[in-house]
Structure 1
C-alpha cells in the first residue's frame, strides 16, 4: 500500500538517530550524558499535581469543549493581561494538545497549496514539516552570529512575495536562546503590516529569560500588530509540564474559530485532567517557575564559560530558553572531521556525550546543548568534550 505523498516528504527528526544511539549505548551499560533534552529536568510543581488529582477525584474525566475549558481560557486571558497588558476575549483563545498542536492546527486552517511561510534558520525542527503537511512552502532565511541569530527587517522585506502568508518569530528561540528586543520586533512588525503578512509569535520560552532582558510579545506593541499576530504558548517549558500537553493559540477570532472546528474533528479536546492542572499552574503560586529559572541561569553561566574555553568552539551567549548553540565547525575541522555531524557521532562513540547536530535546525556548523540537566552532568559533559577535542586536534 502506497503511503500519502505528504508523509513521504517529511524530514526525519534531527534528534532521532542520536537519541536512538545514545539509548542503545546506555542499554549496553555505558555512562552516557545526554544534552539533547527539550524539556526541564524539574518535576511538575506540587500544587499542580494536587489539582490534577483533585480533578480526577471529583470526576472531571469527561469530554470538555473542543477549544478548552472556559475557566482555563479565562486564566489564559488573565495571564496575557497581567504579563503583556493584552486584552483578549475567550473566543479569541483555543486550548490545544500542546503548543505543537496549536501550530499544526494553525497551519492547517491558514495555508493553501503553495502559500509561503518565512522561517528564520536556525529553526525548531517541526516548523518546516508542519508547513509542508499543510501543503505550504517553507521559505528559509539564514541568520548567524552577526545578527544575533535574529531576522532583520531588510532580509524579511526581501523574502516576501505575493505567496507569503506568514512569518514565524520564535522569541526566545529554540535552538539558539536568542530573544528580540522591542525595537527589533517593531521593525519586523512594520514590514509585516505593510505586506499584510500574518505573524506567528511562538512564545513558549517566554518565562525562561535571564539577566536584565525583558520578554516582549510583538502583539503588545500596537493594536495593529495585535490584530496581525497569532500568539502560540503553553505550559510545557514554563511550568515543567511537557507531558501534560497543554498549549494554546490566541488571536483573530475567525482563525481561532476555524482552529477549534478542526480540533473538534482531530483531538476532540485537550485532556480534561491536564486542563485542570493548567488552571492551577496559572492561578496558583509562580514561585516554582522562579526557582527553575534561577537554576537554569546558574547553569547557563557556568556551562557557557567552560564551553567557550574549548579550542575551535564559538558561542553567542543566549538570553533565554535552556539551550546553548555553539559553532563547532572549526573544532570539527581541527579534529579531522569532514563535517559537524561526523564530529557529533564520534563524540558520542568515544566520550559518551550526546548533543544534537545543527543540521536538523537548518545550520549544519552548530550543535545544540541543553542545560536542562544537573550541574554535575554539565561539568562532566563539557570536560569530556574538551578532552575529545584535545585528543583529536591536528
Structure 2
C-alpha cells in the first residue's frame, strides 16, 4: 500500500479485481436464469416437473438422419477442421431445399453461409454488418438473442412494439423516417417466437418496399418454416421479387428437423451481407462438424424427396389442439396459434388480490412452485410481453393434459 493508502498493483485481492464486462448485463433478461432456479427448487421440494419452458424438441431426427450421422462419425476423414474443406455440399443441398420449398434461386457459393445453428449467426450478424453507434430496428417482444447481439456489437436497439390489436405485426408506417434512415437493418421473425404470429407475402412486400426506400437491410429469422398449422405454409421473405437485393434470412434445422443439439443452420440471401458474416465467422470458428453437415444434407434431401412425409408442424398442431381444449375445460380460453411450438397466452382468468402485485413473472413463479408446471413469463422477451406467458408444447399429449389440469387447479385456487 502506498502513502495515500491505495493498493499497489500486486496487492489487489481476487474479490477486488473486476473480471466481468458491463456488457454481460445487457445480454438479455435474467428471467431465464431465475426460471431455472425456480425449477430446481420445485424439483428439490419433490414436485413432478412438467417443463413447458424451453422450446427444445422432445423428438429425435428421422432414422435416415441418425444413420447418416452415425456412419459419418465412424469415418476417419471426418476429424479435420471443417474449414479446411469447402463445406459446399451442405450449402448446395440448402440451396436445393430453398428452391424446392420456396422456389427461391440461390448461389450456394455466394448466397449461403453455414452456421452453428441460426442463433450463432444471429449473435454475430450485427458485428459483421455494423459499427459501434449504429442502430437497428428490433421487435418487442423478441427472441432474447436479437437484443443481446446488438449489445455485443455496441449497436443501439430501436424497438418496434408487436401488439395484439395490430395482429402482432409491426406498424411500419409508424416508424419515424429518421429511424428508418438511421437503421442499418430491421430484424423480424415470422412465424414468431414467442408470439407465434404469422406473416404473409403481402406484408413482406410492404416491408421490402419500405426498407428499399431507406436503404435498410431486412433480416428475417425463419426458424419455424416447417411448423405451420391448419394448412398454413409460412413463406420466405426471399420469395418477394427482388428481395435478395434487400434481405437475408436465417434457417435452422433445430426445430423443423429435430436437430437442435446438432447445431446447424444457415443464412441465405444478399451476397454482400452473407459474405460479411462468413468473413467474421472465419475469424471465430472452424465451422460445423462434418458429420453433422452430412446429417443435415440427408434431412434436407428427405424433405425434397419425400414430400408426403409429415412435417414437424403436424405433431405440434395435434398437441396444440389437445392442450388448448384441456385448458378450455379448466376455464382458460387461449387463442390457437397458426404456427411454431409455442402458445402465447394472456394471463389466466384469476381475481387479483388488490394489495398484491401479480404480473407474468409472479404468476409463472407461483404456478411452478404450486404445480410443477414450467412456463416462461412474457416479460423475458421485452416490456411488451408483460401480461402474457409463453408455453412450449414439448411434452406428449398426456403430459400436456396433466399440465392443463394442474394449471386449472392453480387458477381455481386463486379465485375469490
Distance, in Å, in 2 between the alignment partners of 1:332 and 1:208 is: 35
Distance, in Å, in 2 between the alignment partners of 1:243 and 1:199 is: 28
Encode CA deviations 1:252-292: one digit per residue, 9 max, x unaligned: 22222222222122111112221111111111355796263
The structure-2 alpha-carbon separation of the partners of 1:76 and 1:130, relative to structure 1 and needing over 3 Å to count, comes to same
> Is the contact made by 1:123 and 1:361 (CA closer than 8 Å) also made in structure 2?
yes
> Is the contact made by 1:177 and 1:319 (CA closer than 8 Å) also made in structure 2?
yes
Q: Which of these residues, 119, 136, 139, is aligned with residue 117 of structure 1?
A: 136
The structure-2 alpha-carbon separation of the partners of 1:85 and 1:149, relative to structure 1 and needing over 3 Å to count, comes to same
Encode CA deviations 1:22-66: one digit per residue, 9 max, x unaligned: 134324432111111312110122111111111122221221237
Matches within 5 A, 1:226-237: 226-237=244-255
Q: Secondary structure at the match of 2:346?
A: coil
- Alignment partner, residue 369 of structure 1: 391
Q: Which of these residues, 406, 412, 415, is aligned with residue 384 of structure 1?
A: 406
The structure-2 alpha-carbon separation of the partners of 1:20 and 1:36, relative to structure 1 and needing over 3 Å to count, comes to same
> Is the contact made by 1:249 and 1:256 (CA closer than 8 Å) also made in structure 2?
yes
TM-score by length of 1: 0.93
- Alignment partner, residue 12 of structure 2: none
Task: Say yes or no: does 1:145 pair with 2:145.
Answer: no
Distance, in Å, in 1 between the alignment partners of 2:292 and 2:323 is: 34
Encode CA deviations 1:125-181: one digit per residue, 9 max, x unaligned: 111111111111111121222122111332345683432111112011111111101
Distance, in Å, in 1 between the alignment partners of 2:38 and 2:308 is: 34
TM-score by length of 2: 0.88
Distance, in Å, in 2 between the alignment partners of 1:329 and 1:135 is: 38
Highest Rg: 1 or 2?
2
Matches within 5 A, 1:17-96: 17-59=34-76, 60-65=78-83, 69-90=87-108, 91-96=110-115
Q: Secondary structure at the match of 2:159?
A: strand
- Alignment partner, residue 298 of structure 1: 318
Aligned length: 392
> Is the contact made by 1:35 and 1:353 (CA closer than 8 Å) also made in structure 2?
yes
Matches within 5 A, 1:1-394: 1-2=17-18, 3-59=20-76, 60-65=78-83, 69-90=87-108, 91-156=110-175, 160-223=179-242, 225-284=243-302, 286=306, 290=310, 292-308=312-328, 310-311=330-331, 313=332, 315-328=334-347, 331=350, 333=352, 337-362=357-382, 363-394=385-416
> Is the contact made by 1:148 and 1:316 (CA closer than 8 Å) also made in structure 2?
no
> Is the contact made by 1:332 and 1:340 (CA closer than 8 Å) also made in structure 2?
no
Q: Secondary structure at the match of 1:382?
A: helix
> Is the contact made by 2:350 and 2:414 (CA closer than 8 Å) also made in structure 1?
no
Structure 2: tracts of 5 or more residues without a match = 1-16
Q: Secondary structure at the match of 1:95?
A: strand
Please, which moves more after superposition, 59-68 or 163-172?
A: 59-68
